[in-house]
Structure 1
């Protein structure tokens, strides 16, 4: 059940800071003009709150709005008929997990909150007006969609070819850079509220295997992971353990350390 809904009033420059996540996310992958940044901030949004485990968008929905994660953490997933779940992506603030709904009418998967999460909904008509008025933003969203596809490819390689240590270390490396991209990884520390079962559903590993790998990464001094807070202790060694190459994230502006 949605807990509350808030609609922003007429456009103005004094926006809540979480609305800047979309601007920061796009700026990490492309250049934006001052006018484009302001146009993003002025988008009409209806904000809704979700509890952990609650669906934000469901498979079979026919959305008339795009969803933007403002605060919290979400996942993109699909259920098999017998209830088995495959998590296909994690989404940080600044992500638009259903941007494809602008062009694909029916959702073929679901998006759920993985912690108390605020999501903003932007009418498709407003998104189309925005990209018509600002062609540079059309290219920015297209680039974001292509990077989303690149992340899917990298996850597929992980499930198909990487061993358990490489899969989990690679995921942690990826999430650090994505949280850095929206200024949410101070001192290489970020909040990732997922269970070991969630990691298993994302990476095709058993709960026991996930537990063993995390213990190894802690013992080797690469990370700490306590109460959903992940800290990277040795970035170079973690990348080496993961065989990590950040090219697929296409972050054209260096993420803040």
Structure 2
């Protein structure tokens, strides 16, 4: 009888312990977030860029090493060639594969602060391409806009082809249109080097006179459209300040 009581006590204790363990497990499960749900959330928060990972640093280093083996010029040589083409300060040259040609890409900042991208052949040192970096154009990103350095170079090339000076062109312009001449500017008019001179006459009208930079002949002459617009604006303002033209005479008198 005593043995049976002990066995019964042991059985009751085991059941109680099992119930306690089960309760604790259930409590722990209720307090802990679902692991599968957490995994799903983390997977959804991974950016697409991380899944489509770019070239890692090791591959990039290997590519640069392969390009360096094909280049006979050093980065310093490329930077020197770039600043010879575009005077200024060169950023570190970077090796690139330009359509099968190993080249250095060098960014040169000139005295005016404009950044030029210069492509140098990594074996010959030749300038393969040169352009103003679009990222540094600022608010005005119009394509084809010349930098100050390029404009100065173009003017120098035109000046070499002109036999007349700017003063000669201004004298020829005021002989055709009496008035005060603004500084003459060299231009290329369909292959002919010319001076463009703006002359303001005694009435204040601005005339644009085109002078051949070698013969001094007047090739063209016209009134500057910008001043016509100003005159139109003035006339419109005068008309609006007075009485409308189509107002009956009786109404005008009554007012």
TM-score range, shorter chain: under 0.3
TM-score of the two chains, using structure 1 as the length reference: 0.19
> Of the two structures, which has the highest relative contact order with CA contacts closer than 8 Å and spacing of 6 or more?
1
Say which one has the larger Rg.
2
TM-score of the two chains, using structure 2 as the length reference: 0.19
